Amino acid sequence: MRYRQLGRSGISVSEIGYGAWGIGQNAWKGATEAESVRALHRAIDLGVNLIDTARGYGRSEHVIGRALRERAGGDGVFVATKAGPKIPAGPDSRGIDPMDAYPGSHLRESVETSLAALGLERVDLLQLHVWHDEWTGRGDWLETVEDLKREGKIGLFGISVNDHQPDNALALVRIGVLDTVQVIYNIFEQAPSDALLPACQEYGVGVIARVALDEGGLTGRIRPGVTFPEDDWRNWYFRDDRPARVARHVGAIVDDLGIAPDEIAETALRFALAGTAVSSVIVGMRDIRNVERNAAVGDQPPLTAKQLAVLAKHRWQRNFYT
């Protein structure tokens, strides 16, 4: 496992991080707590030291807390969580007052609840799960963040950038209050490289890349006729003709690079790690097999300039979350 600096924080994080939405047993179906705990242990044993979760990820924080307790507190593990807004305030809900979405009292309550679930006295990184740049300079959320830092309840502060809205964070990055941003970044969604990633490098903000495998689209397993467990949210994400569209795009990548179909996931992770702006790529890993496969990406050489030039042509602007 290789490690990178998390912005200007001085903290070193593993290139491959543990994305813990899938082990929350809410939107993603099929995970069991016992297997998830085993996967967490295996990931940490293989050098993964960044775990990313959220208040809204079902039982995810509780599962992580169990794994950390079994490791006597999880020394050396960097735990990031997210606070959701007090009222519905998703990516398309502009015009909401930040005092309604993130009043300081709500932010503090969310942190206290996360700490109890995780069994920790401090969370290493607190992120806002939804952000609109129009909130910059408004509300008391930032004052509360500074108070929580002084009290030792959080270490760093960041935001999770709204789905496919990388430019909707530039204002906050540029005023210097962020330690990290988390953003969708993959072979299809390359827009963060236009402005957000350069801005983060300029201002010393660490970048956590999420959805590097496009919720499974960049694994080669999404094809016409694909099925998922009942009530699994991927039935909605990959609805209608979307599996066929994804399969066509993935097939074109495989052909243009001249790689085997089963190499696409590894290639996608290596793409997200190309360059120096990204500190860590968080990947959903619900069992030991996935952990071992994804952690092994660190054994692979970086993609070549020629390969990156080929992949730059496969930018695909679309939003399956809508």
In DSSP notation, 262-314 reads GGHHHHHHHHHTSSSSEEEEEEE--SHHHHHHHHGGGGSPPPPHHHHHHHHTT
Grouped pLDDT means (10 residues each) for the chain, 322 residues: 96 97 92 95 96 97 96 86 88 80 96 97 97 91 97 98 95 96 98 98 98 97 94 95 98 98 97 96 95 92 96 96 91
Question: What is the amino acid identity at position 100?
Answer: D
Contact yes or no for 136/171 (Cβ under 8 A): yes
Helices 264-272 and 242-257, interaxial angle, to 10°? 80
Nearest 10 degrees: CA dihedral of 137, 138, 141, 144? 70
Contact yes or no for 210/180 (Cβ under 8 A): no
pTM: 0.96
Q: Where are the domains of the chain?
A: 3-312
Q: What is the pLDDT at residue 319?
A: 93
Q: What is the pLDDT at residue 59?
A: 96
b/e 271-298 (16+ beta carbons within 10 angstroms → b): bbbbeebbbbbbbbbbbbebbeebbebb
CATH of 3-312, one of 3.40.920.10, 3.20.20.100, 3.40.33.10, 3.30.210.10: 3.20.20.100
Q: What is the pLDDT at residue 32?
A: 93
Q: What is the pLDDT at residue 73?
A: 66
Q: What is the pLDDT at residue 226?
A: 95
